[in-house]
Amino acid sequence: MSKLESFIRRMMAQRDCLNFAAQRIEAMPGPVLELGLGNGRTYDHLRQIMPDRDIYVFDRNGRPFASFAPPDNRIFRGEVLETLIQAYDVLGKTAVLTHYDIGTTNTEKSSKLAERVSPLLNRLMYPGSLVVSSVAMPFSHWSVVPLPASVKPGRYFIYRVDGLR
């Protein structure tokens, strides 16, 4: 498979997993978290498929095109390991969907960061909520959700947050 084809498939997997998760949490009230704004591509998709949701964005230096920029009061700017802690004071345990897209080409570094992010993110997530991730995030309080049929296992990841209300 060419690099181009692999990129296209990853983008399709990302879109299909976000669409699937948005449908699954449709009946649950609460905000959505976008970890990794980048140029705002997936943020723009999330706001189009969930126009009535508050979407909070986390990035240390994401530079989206102006028309994809989230409102200032919906951005946590800085290192995610710190801003997730600050976000708890604002949001509590209310988030119903997170898209985690902070991976890099350095797989080992990405996995280590995801391991440190998981418990901080878990504090913000309402029981039964979903985490859609570009990186595997094995965490003891989360169960693996089967992917949409269009997505090859290992290309994207979806977890359900367990726990008592």
**Interface with ligand SAM by CB under 6 A: which residues?**
36-42, 59-62, 79-80, 101-102
Residues 119/155, Cβ–Cβ less than 8 Å: no
Of 42 and 129, nearer to ligand SAM (C-beta) is: 42
CA distance 165 to 158: 20
CB of 63 to ligand SAM, least distance (A): 7
> Residue 124 half-sphere exposure, CB side, CA atoms within 13 Å?
28
CB of 38 to ligand SAM, least distance (A): 3
Of 100 and 139, nearer to ligand SAM (C-beta) is: 100
CB of 165 to ligand SAM, least distance (A): 29
Of 48 and 146, nearer to ligand SAM (C-beta) is: 48
CA distance 144 to 131: 10
Residues 100/36, Cβ–Cβ less than 8 Å: yes
CA distance 5 to 7: 5
Residue nearest to ligand SAM (CB): 38
Of 7 and 127, nearer to ligand SAM (C-beta) is: 7
